[in-house]
Amino acid sequence: MLSLAAALGSIVPTKRDEAGHREEIQSLQRQLRDARHQAGVMEVSLEVLRDSNTSYVAELSALRLQLATAMANQSEKPRRPQSTVDASKPRRVAHKVAARKQSAS
């Protein structure tokens, strides 16, 4: 059988155990601070990206409106009149005439 001191020794933490636990707690607290800091940095980056996206969406909308306006104005312009040449006659293509070589006499 175990003695009372041996049984209590395994239950009651020693100073060495307490120091180890304190070090572990401090290490975990450092990790938590680092994780919170990193989360803060990531939140700022996310906010910047959201702002950039918002400005890009606004710019894209403005460009789409500008394009639609230009297309509408282009379709409203009067087209140039049709040629007065009779359209039933096909146009003739002028072929190049090959120049004859002159013989040296």
Per-residue pLDDT tens digits for 32-73: 999 999 999 999 999 999 999 999 999 999 999 999 999 999
Q: Give the pLDDT mean for 4-30.
A: 83
Average pLDDT over all residues of the chain: 83
Q: Residue 90 has which token pair?
A: 């096909």
Q: Do 13 and 21 touch, CB atoms closer than 8 A?
A: yes
Is the overall model pTM greater than 0.85, yes or no? Answer: no
pLDDT (0 to 100) of residue 76: 74
Helix (H) or strand (E) holding 6: helix 4-11
Q: What percent of the chain has pLDDT over 70?
A: 65
Per-residue pLDDT tens digits for 62-102: 999 999 999 999 887 666 666 665 556 667 766 776 666 66
